[in-house]
Amino acid sequence: MLDPEFNNLKHRDLDWLNFNKRVLQEAEDEDNPLYERLKFLAIFSSNLDEYFRVRVSQLRQIKRIKKSLRKKLALKPSKKVKQILSIVSQQQQEFGEIFHDQIIPELAKNNIHLINDTDFSADQKQEINTFYKNNIEKSLQPQIVDFEKEKRIFIENNTIYFFVTFKENEKVGFVNIPLNDHGRFYTFNSKKDFYITFIDDIVRYKMSSVFPNEEVTGIYEIKMSRDAELYIDDQYDGVLAEKIYDSLAQRTDGQPTRLLYDAQMPKDFQKKLRRHLGLGKIDMMPGGRYHNFSDFFSFPNPSDNKSLKFEPLSPIPHRELENSQDYFASIKEKDLLVHFPYMSFSYVENFIEKAANDNDVTAIKISFYRVADESKLTTSLLKALEQGKEVTVFIEAKARFDEENNITWGRKFEKKGAKVIYSYPKIKVHSKIFFVERIENGEKLRYAYIGTGNFNSETSKIYCDHGLFTANKKITKELERVFKVLEGDLIIPRAKNLLISPFNTRRDFTKLILQEIDYAKAGLEAKITAKMNSLEDPEIINLLYKASESGVKIRLIVRGFTCLIAGLPQISENIYITSIVDRFLEHGRIYLFHNNGEEKMYFGSADWMTRNLDRRIEVLAPVMDEQIFKELKDILEIQLKDNQKARIQDASEANEYVKVKKGDEKINSQAKIYQYLKEKHSA
């Protein structure tokens, strides 16, 4: 949807919904295995929850600005929220149709039946009574509220409740649905067909015993989403990490951004509930009988039917690293590139482990954006400290939803003697880098890793990322300067090779785009090919528009939202964008400039978003090794040819799939890349 506040730009929050629509398309795609379709419904739901807690919340914060200033800045948050709610309502309807009309019948065909409290047989009721008594009853916290006497009610963030109406109209009941101990689903004992029910339906079935002194007339599920941002005053006088840690309670009592409620709830009770929760009309979102579909990530599969899920991919052994007895020698010999999830994250873990145990290694430095729970990598860093090595760990304390875990790990490293550095005000460290110093023949040598994804072995199984191991002196010397900036020893890291935000990334990307414009104006071939997660920065977009007008051929792959509109007459006719949403989450960023035949390529952690260029520390590396250049370019070209999971992104916002042209091969890029890497690394 075009944004009238800006010329020829889409509004990022509206186009993000267009991305989530592509996730919904995957849930609808019958070529995907049944449980994978359920997973896409869970992803859609999880995405939407975060969207309301962050993006919609931010729009609501704008409403606090004085109306005169909002008018001057052409900010219309209420109008945007109404547009958002309209789109979400339509998508929720599609979601319900996919779930009820497609998924439920397909489960039944596979002898898996999702039943509710009205379907329970006599034997199942007896089984439920026992389970309820032993496991659920003690976790319930029912309360009766008299709307005539009590002015406000507090509903915890992201917790599912039943709103219960009684025959005595002025009183209502609230009861939590306890999920922490037993998950969302209960599987009945059975010998042939499999029967599964929501924990919700067990509580619903027993509601008369929850409120034994009331006559229940209605049971409606509700769920509140609250503001997820932590508003930390930048004029802090203590450790920022401590302030963030102390502010985490805001996650549970922050400003409401959405109340999901069962649309069957009578209108008079909707009004009462809204008033007593202190909500506006736009905060109310009608839904179905159940909420929190992200719980379908853990939907039970009691059958042995392997066809219900994707066939697991065997990790491809890296040609040089798999049997390397000396990672340092292998990396010093040539740059090495790894690809996740097609390869194992263990190559990264093994290198840190070897560095921790190597007598010649003197220092290890690493930046964490999202720290995994206990892992081989964190264990190795603790081991390096025990070995007396200098360990420097940068912890991004403001990584949304991971603040608490990140700070907890920072404290663990500090206790063991690591130098731990936390966030800076107004800037995040989003780069995925580590650096190792080693003494070889009396000389200090540097080894480095630059990646597009977090140092997390679990997400590496579902995120498509690339990582470079290098001992190239030009790269490692500049990466050392990045860590000196993080440690406070440098203010600006001089860099001729690396792109380092917020220092030279915007400037150098601008030069590269302007150079292609100059080539096009001179009648020479000019091309820009880039892949990223999101495209939002207005300055970069306007440069791309100018490049298109000058005749530069621009081909983009943008997985998430894009504010650039491709295909506009006389503005972006030379720009073509596709988005790939598939089994794995496309997460790598690759930028390729034709450069009059002397191609330049960069890859790393930064999207073309204002925050990545100006408000985060990001690192993108030039691809200097010819073999690695070819490997990344081959992967990029496979993705450009995807005609199975690629959707066209233009002004229509129709999310139309790229069509297979007559005589062309059907190309699913993720499957094709897996096969390409398998053949390349078995050679």
What pLDDT is stored for residue 233 in this prediction? 42
What pLDDT is stored for residue 426 in this prediction? 64
Alpha helices per DSSP H over 29-133: 34-51, 57-62, 67-72, 77-97, 104-109, 122-131
Residue range 240-284, pLDDT digits in tens: 445 434 544 444 555 677 889 999 999 999 998 988 888 888 788
- Structure token digits, residue 380: 């190795």
In angstroms, what CA-CA distances link 325 with 34, 351, 356, 628?
Answer: 43, 11, 15, 22
Percent of the chain, pLDDT > 90? 72
- Going by C-beta distance under 8 Å and a sequence separation of 6 or more, which residues neighbour residue 175? 140, 141, 142, 143, 161, 162, 164, 203, 207, 210, 211
CATH homologous superfamily of domain 501-682? Endonuclease Chain A (3.30.870.10)
Q: Which pairing describes strands 553-558 and 527-532: parallel, antiparallel, or unpaired?
A: parallel
Domain 124-299: assigned CATH number: 3.30.1840.10
Do residues 649 and 567 touch, judged by C-beta distance below 8 A? no
- Closest listed residue to residue 606, CA positions, set 621, 594, 592: 621
What pLDDT is stored for residue 400 in this prediction? 53
- Going by C-beta distance under 8 Å and a sequence separation of 6 or more, which residues neighbour residue 343? 315, 316, 317, 318, 677
- Under-70 pLDDT residues of the chain: 1-7, 60-77, 151-152, 227-255, 371-373, 397-405, 424-426, 683
Other Cβ atoms less than 10 A from the Cβ of 454: the count is 24
CATH class held by domain 327-494: alpha beta
Please report, in range form, the residues annotated as the binding site for Mg(2+): 370, 400
Q: What are phi and psi of 531, to 5 degrees?
A: -130, 135
DSSP 100-122: IIIIHHHHHHTTEEEE-TTS--H
Tell me the domain boundaries of the chain: 1-110, 124-299, 327-494, 501-682
What pLDDT is stored for residue 254 in this prediction? 59
- Going by C-beta distance under 8 Å and a sequence separation of 6 or more, which residues neighbour residue 421? 392, 393, 394, 395, 486, 487, 488
Residue range 529-545, pLDDT digits in tens: 999 999 999 999 999 99
Please report, in range form, the residues annotated as the binding site for ATP: 47, 463, 559, 587
- Give the separation between CA 71 and CA 38, rounded to whole angstroms: 44
Residue with tokens 């005749």: 551
Query: How do the residues of the chain divide into helix, strand and coil, expressed in percent and rounded to 5?
Result: 40, 25, 35
DSSP 502: T
Q: Indicate if 501-682 has the same CATH topology as 327-494.
A: yes
Q: What are phi and psi of 276, to 5 degrees?
A: -80, -15
- Structure token digits, residue 148: 């005539």
What order do you get walking across the sheet with 194-198 strand by strand? 112-115, 194-198, 185-187
Output the average pLDDT for the chain.
89
Cβ-count burial of 661 within 10 angstroms (0-12 exposed, 13-18 middle, 19+ buried)? exposed
- Structure token digits, residue 21: 């629509």
CATH fold of 1-110 reads Methane Monooxygenase Hydroxylase; Chain G, domain 1 (1.20.58)
Q: Helix, strand or coil for residue 149?
A: coil
Do residues 586 and 465 touch, judged by C-beta distance below 8 A? no
Amino acid at 561: F
Do residues 144 and 162 touch, judged by C-beta distance below 8 A? no
Residue range 106-130, pLDDT digits in tens: 999 999 999 999 999 999 999 999 9
Catalytic annotation, pick one of 430, 466, 594, 681? 430
What pLDDT is stored for residue 71 in this prediction? 53
What pLDDT is stored for residue 159 in this prediction? 85
- Give the separation between CA 109 and CA 481, rounded to whole angstroms: 60
Other Cβ atoms less than 10 A from the Cβ of 647: the count is 20
In angstroms, what CA-CA distances link 436 with 60, 120, 301, 420?
Answer: 45, 61, 44, 16
Cα three-residue angle 591-595-597, rounded to 5 degrees: 115
- Give the separation between CA 586 and CA 589, rounded to whole angstroms: 9
What pLDDT is stored for residue 73 in this prediction? 46
Please report, in range form, the residues annotated as the binding site: 47, 370, 400, 463, 559, 587
Helix H or strand E encompassing 576: strand 575-580
- Structure token digits, residue 286: 């009608």
Amino acid at 172: V
Q: Tell me if residue 430 is catalytic.
A: yes
Residue range 643-678, pLDDT digits in tens: 999 999 999 999 999 999 998 999 999 999 999 999
- Give the separation between CA 511 and CA 520, rounded to whole angstroms: 14
Residue with tokens 């506009």: 568
- Give the separation between CA 645 and CA 580, rounded to whole angstroms: 6
Q: Helix, strand or coil for residue 375?
A: coil
- Give the separation between CA 586 and CA 341, rounded to whole angstroms: 10
